[in-house]
């Protein structure tokens, strides 16, 4: 579902697979370890998703 490359995650999975849960848990874990870190979330338009 998720591929990590250094500090980058690409999440590509079908509906109902737990994407939102994974994202919220991962962000929560990162913030618990590094409270002042900056996080950028980007969603590509449907035409660019593959």
| pLDDT at residue 33 in the model | 95
- How many Å apart are CA 1 and CA 38, to the nearest integer? 23
Q: Helix, strand, or coil here: 42?
A: coil
What pTM value is reported for the model? 0.69
| pLDDT at residue 26 in the model | 92
Confidence of residue 35 (pLDDT cuts 50, 70, 90): very high
Dihedral sign computed on CA atoms, order 24, 48, 13, 4: negative
| Residue 11 · residue 1 · CB < 8 Å | yes
| Number of structural domains the chain divides into | 1
Say yes or no to pLDDT of 2 above 80: no
Range of the domain at 36: 1-50
How many helices and strands, by DSSP H and E, does the chain display? 1, 2
């Amino acid at each position: 579902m998720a591929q990590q490359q250094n500090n980058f995650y690409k999440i590509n999975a079908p509906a109902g697979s737990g994407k939102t849960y994974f994202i919220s848990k991962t962000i929560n874990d990162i913030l618990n370890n590094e409270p002042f870190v900056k996080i950028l979330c980007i969603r590509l338009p449907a035409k660019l998703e593959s």
